[in-house]
Structure formats: structure tokens, C-alpha cells
Structure 1
Amino acid sequence: MVYAQPFSKRQEEIKNSLDIRKQHHILNCLKTEVCVTSRKNKRHLLFFIPYTIYLCLLCCWIYHWNRSETWTKTGTSDNTRLSILLWHWPYGKAYPLNGNVCLDLFKIPGCEVLDRRSEFSKVDVVVFHQRELATKKEKLPLNLERPHRQRWVWLSLEAPENNGNLQPFANLFNLTMSYRRDADITVPYGELQPHGDENSMPLEAVEERISERSSSHSAGADPCGLQVTYMQELAADKERYEDFFRWRQEWRVKLYVDWRERLCKICTQSLPQRKVYSDLHKWYNV
């Protein structure tokens, strides 16, 4: 004989069964949500990692590009320091480079001049004096790995006939340093500088006087004879006589005799960002 279970007990069993099913359902839903969330996170992660790598590479490229391309008014800030390596001293005469030479001696900030060849891979600029290259006393460090951002400067204050054959130097130098005005870095033997800004003669007038005298010399005139003639003319013309002494009071002759000063002047120049001399021989002998 089968007895029916009490209604309350049957109801409790049904309730427990429903609770178990509900728990399984909730657990399955949680598992599904976790899986969906996990898949979404993976997709986000797969997108984020390459994007982050790309940004890092882009920042590195911009940083190195700026270092190699920033050449305008390089030495005008203490935060920007241009390092210059002189590969060999002109004519074998070395100068001391103790301390901050450019700032201490010539009031040029942000400029460092070195002559230690061990710093080759670290410097921004390397300067080579042509006379020692022409006489085979020195040679270019073509066996060393040249940094991409590094610029090579060809230096010569000699006349073209004293520089020898420059054709082997094609596509090696980025900048020229010479007394010529069309050089990237002009370093004359000397120049005229005003004593003050007030009542000074315009530079164009000074250049005109120099041009007149240069044309007389190039025509084969005797410099000593020209000077005697000029002084005699001054003595006979009171206005020109007074003008001569007024000109001497307003202008002074600045001579460049220290190679360190010439090298420090590199930091004061506005230099081209990208340049390579494909035919240095042709440029200097024009």
C-alpha cells in the first residue's frame, strides 16, 4: 500500500529542486559572462599592446629626429649643448681645453669643444683640418662606425692650391668652415667691429672701402705705395683726414688667432639641417 507524501514535504522538495536549478542557472550565467568578458578583454589587450608599441617607437623616432635635425642657433641655450670634436689640431699646435672654454673665454654658452678621439661616437660634430689631410699626416676615421646624427665639418683657411685633391672627399662632409662667405661656417682671419652702436658707420660703407682696396691690390698695385699715396691724400684733404680718424674711433679690427674661438663659433651659426657635399673639390675651386 503506497502512502502519499504530505503536501508540505512535497512542496519543500519542489522548492529545493527549483533552488538547485536556479543556482545552476545563475552559475552558468556567471560562467558565460566571465567568458564573454574574458574574450572582450583579450580583444582589447590584443589591440592595446601593438598600439602602445607603435607609440613608443614613434616617440623614439621623433626624439632622435629632433636631435639630428635641430641645428639652428644651437648654442643659444644652456639646456642645449653642442659637442664638437676636433680630430686633429691645425698645424700640430694644440690649445688647452680645460673647463668650459667657449663660455669662459668667449662668452658662448651651450658649446663643448673636445680633442679626445675616444668621444667620437658621442659627439654631435667632428671637425677635420684639411692641411693635415692633404699632407697625409692625418686621415679620416672611415673605419669607425659613424653615428647617424653626427655632422662632419671640413675646415680650411688655405688658398685652393694648398688644399690638394678634394675629390676623394665626395659625399663625406656635411658642412664647410672657411674664410669664404659662402661657407656654412665663416671664420675670417679678422673682421671690423664697431666700438659702439651710436654714430657708427654702416657696415655697407665699410665693406665698400674694403672692396675698393681689394680691387686695387688684385690689379697688381704695390700695397706700400698705395698706403703712402693714401696718407698723402689725407694730409691734403682736411675733410677726409677728419673722417679717417673718426672712422678709427668707431671701428676696431678684431683678429682671430685662437683656434678654440673659431671652433666655438660653430655654436653661434644658423646651420643647414640636411646637407652633404657631393663635390667638395668643385665647390672650393669655383
Structure 2
Amino acid sequence: MDSKITRLLCKPILSLCPRFFLVLVLLFFLFICLWNFMDLNSTFCHPVEKSLPTILLQSEPQNKNGPFSKTEQNNLELTILVWTWPFGERFPLDTCEKVYGISGCHLTDDHRLYKHADAVIIHHQDVMYVKGKLPQAPRPPNQWWVWFNLESPSYTPNMDMLDNLFNLTMTYRYDSDIVRPYGWLEVLKEPQDFIIPKKSKLVAWAISNWNPNTQRVKYYEELKKHIPIDIFGKKHQPLHWDNLISTISMYKFYLSFENSVHVDYITEKLWNNALLSGAVPIVSGPPRENYERFLPRDSFIHISDFPSAKEMAAYLLELDANNEKYQHYFQWRSRLRVRREVGWDNHYCKACRVLRHAPAYKIIPSVAKWFSSQDYPVQ
């Protein structure tokens, strides 16, 4: 009798269990979605940001001593001596405040002000063959000497002559004291539609330093056996710099092949030639893991993704025939945009800003050792 009564009493409740369970599942799913929506770095709602390191989710790369403060910027007057014009290229010296909003930074190329300068920035490529081109007068107390170089270690000779002379490094590397990369990505405040440029051609490559003995040229020679590639530059089709972007934008893919393989050495070949042109970059340089420090993993194709150039070519032809699959390489652009600041004055003004946050005064025993010590494997 008791069991019969129990069954009668529980029957209505049991009939509700499937619906109740379904409601619980839906509520749990809604909670997870809301939680992920509030988290900018969540893969659930923002997969692009999750695929990038925190260092790039900002308006521009910061120095390793912390973010910049407008108050601190305005409180310290600095004189920066431009020791040589980089590659002989002159630039305006009065743009720090009116162009970049960095007040109190005074750039000068007047060597007579050497003893009054807070820092001297020395571009390596202009002094690398003659040590006598470095400042010869006694260094004023606590004056910073900044070693400025945007070339890779493979193209940076005679670094040993710099031993125990410099205080700060200023390169494309993200472990530099002053980071000056070739480009970076910036998170958009609001999602935006990206219109892929109209494509009528398949693969392009612009190269100025043609050397048939290099690995990148050898890979190109093998790849062109299987797909058409238009090549521009010396000994090939002429292409003026002013027409580079508009020309490359007509191609679906661009060969962003670096001239040497080093940590963080990812140059305008990717940031300008490919990404600003709206072409999918096929990259050859440091390992994929290094590229993924700065780019979404589905924004580029690495030559190491395929065991041979023939298989790479087959994949590119597959993307060419499948527009939906090709467009997948542009999904990240709704949340991120490419930034590449140009102009030598930009580098020097940003260096001045970083000097306000410089660490305690130091001497670098060996620039050469530092520049090569962090090479592969990438950490």
C-alpha cells in the first residue's frame, strides 16, 4: 500500500524530470556563453584574440619596463643625439610632439651638443666597418648609448667592436630594451567588415636581393614548377614602390620570404607587402611558432606546413578553387588591423619615450652575444 501511494505521489514529479533536465542544460549553456562573452580572450566568443599573446593586444608594442604614462612623458625633458642619419636618409627632427604627441623630446644631429645629450642613438649599419665613426670624446656621466639595428644577425657584421660601450638595445626583437618591430596587430574597438580586394591572379613575389643559391630562391624554383608565380624586382618584372600595394592586392597569395632565419625577424615582406596588400602571406623565415607570437595561426601559410613545394602548390590550387575556404584566411580581420608605422623620426621619438622608463644604468658587455644568444629554438 505504501509503495503504491509513493508511486502515485511521484508520478507528476517524474513526468517533469526530462523538461527540468533540459532547462538546466540550457541555463548552463547560457551561463558559459555569457561568461565567455565577457572575457575578451575567450576562444568561445573571440577566437582571434585567444590565438594571440597578450603582448600584442594593445595599441602598439610596449617597452619591457611597463606602459607609458602621459604625465611621465611631460615631466622629463630629454635631448636625443641622432649620431648618423640612417643610411644617409634625413628626416624631420621636430615631429615628436606635433606628430606623435610625445612632448619634451628634443632630437638633434648637432655633434657639438654631444656632452649635453641625454642619449646618443647610433645606427649600426652606418658605423659597422669603422670603429672611429663612434663617438670618440669622453662620455658624459649617465649618458645612454643606444644600439639601433633593424637588420638580422646574418647581416650585422663587426658587433665585437661594440663590447662594453652600449647601454640599451633598439631592434625588432621583443626582448630589446626599445622594441621597434616592422609591424604589429591592433585590436579594433568594434568589429568591422573587411573587404577582400578583387583577385585576378594567383601568386606574386617581389624580391630585390636575388641570389639563386639561397633556400628561398630554391624553394621558389621548385614551387613554380607546379603553379604560376609572377615575380617582380631586379632581374625580373619592374615594380615601382608606389605601385606595390595596388599590384600585390590583385594576387591571392604573396611569398613573404625572409632573407635569413632569426627569432622575431619578420619584416615588411609580411606586414607591408602581404598583409597591407590584402594577400594571404606564404611565409619562410622563423618557425611557425614564432609567427604565431604576432599573428593568428589562420592568417598565414608557413612553408613548413607541407613536406614539399609540390604539396604546397596543390593546397594553393585547392584554395583557389574553393572561395569559402580561401576567405577563412581573412576572418581575423574583423577584430584586428595591421599597424606599420614608417619614418625614421617615428623610431627616434618612440625611443625617447622609452628612455623615460629606462632601467638602472648598465653596460652591455657584448651586444654580439646578446643578439645571437636568443636564437633558436624559440621559447
Question: What TM-score bracket applies, with the shorter chain setting the length?
Answer: 0.5 to 0.7
- Provide the rounded CA distance (Å) in 2 between the counterparts of 1:220 and 1:112: 53
- Provide the rounded CA distance (Å) in 2 between the counterparts of 1:178 and 1:211: 27
User: How has the CA–CA distance of structure 1 residues 211 and 184 changed in structure 2, closer, same or farther, with 3 Å as cutoff?
Assistant: farther
- Provide the rounded CA distance (Å) in 1 between the counterparts of 2:313 and 2:293: 17
Note the C-alpha offset of 1:276: 1.2
- Provide the rounded CA distance (Å) in 1 between the counterparts of 2:150 and 2:362: 21
Kept in 2, the 8 Å contact 1:88–1:128? The answer is: yes
**Counterparts of 1:119-268 in structure 2 under 5 Å?**
119-136=113-130, 139-142=133-136, 144-194=137-187, 196-198=188-190, 207=294, 209=296, 213=300, 216=303, 229=315, 232-233=318-319, 236=322, 238=324, 244-268=329-353
Which residue of the other structure, out of 73, 90, 109, is the alignment partner of 1:94? 90
- Provide the rounded CA distance (Å) in 2 between the counterparts of 1:151 and 1:187: 18
User: How has the CA–CA distance of structure 1 residues 277 and 246 changed in structure 2, closer, same or farther, with 3 Å as cutoff?
Assistant: same
- Provide the rounded CA distance (Å) in 2 between the counterparts of 1:134 and 1:272: 26
Name the structure 2 match of 1:84. Answer: 80
- Provide the rounded CA distance (Å) in 2 between the counterparts of 1:80 and 1:262: 19
Kept in 2, the 8 Å contact 1:78–1:109? The answer is: yes
- Provide the rounded CA distance (Å) in 1 between the counterparts of 2:163 and 2:297: 34
Name the structure 2 match of 1:17. Answer: none
User: How has the CA–CA distance of structure 1 residues 214 and 117 changed in structure 2, closer, same or farther, with 3 Å as cutoff?
Assistant: farther
**What amino acid sits opposite 1:180 in the alignment?**
R
Name the structure 1 match of 2:108. Answer: 114
**In structure 1, the residue corresponding to 2:127 is in which secondary structure?**
helix
**What amino acid sits opposite 2:97 in the alignment?**
L
Note the C-alpha offset of 1:89: 1.0
Kept in 2, the 8 Å contact 1:192–1:254? The answer is: yes
- Provide the rounded CA distance (Å) in 2 between the counterparts of 1:178 and 1:162: 13
The percent of aligned pairs where both chains have the same amino acid is 32
Kept in 1, the 8 Å contact 2:80–2:120? The answer is: yes
Deviation readout 1:167-219 (Å, 9 max, x if unpaired): 1211110000000111111101112223x22459xxx9773536995853698
How many residues of Structure 1 are paired with residues of Structure 2 in the alignment? 208
Note the C-alpha offset of 1:274: 2.3
Normalising by structure 2, we get a TM-score of 0.47
Kept in 2, the 8 Å contact 1:175–1:185? The answer is: yes
Q: Which runs of 5+ in 2 are unaligned?
A: 1-65, 193-290, 374-379
**What amino acid sits opposite 1:113 in the alignment?**
L
Note the C-alpha offset of 1:279: 1.2
**What amino acid sits opposite 1:279 in the alignment?**
S
The structure richer in helix per residue is: 1
**What amino acid sits opposite 1:86 in the alignment?**
V
Name the structure 2 match of 1:274. Answer: 361
Name the structure 2 match of 1:45. Answer: none
- Provide the rounded CA distance (Å) in 2 between the counterparts of 1:104 and 1:153: 24
Kept in 2, the 8 Å contact 1:188–1:256? The answer is: no
Kept in 1, the 8 Å contact 2:299–2:330? The answer is: no
- Provide the rounded CA distance (Å) in 2 between the counterparts of 1:227 and 1:138: 51
Kept in 1, the 8 Å contact 2:180–2:347? The answer is: yes
Please provide the CA RMSD for this pair: 3.7
Note the C-alpha offset of 1:153: 0.2
**In structure 2, the residue corresponding to 1:107 is in which secondary structure?**
coil
**What amino acid sits opposite 2:169 in the alignment?**
T
Note the C-alpha offset of 1:230: 5.6
Kept in 2, the 8 Å contact 1:73–1:267? The answer is: no
- Provide the rounded CA distance (Å) in 1 between the counterparts of 2:139 and 2:191: 50
User: How has the CA–CA distance of structure 1 residues 159 and 74 changed in structure 2, closer, same or farther, with 3 Å as cutoff?
Assistant: same
User: How has the CA–CA distance of structure 1 residues 213 and 105 changed in structure 2, closer, same or farther, with 3 Å as cutoff?
Assistant: same
Note the C-alpha offset of 1:141: 1.2
Normalising by structure 1, we get a TM-score of 0.60
Kept in 2, the 8 Å contact 1:74–1:82? The answer is: no
**What amino acid sits opposite 2:127 in the alignment?**
L
User: How has the CA–CA distance of structure 1 residues 242 and 275 changed in structure 2, closer, same or farther, with 3 Å as cutoff?
Assistant: same
Note the C-alpha offset of 1:220: 9.1
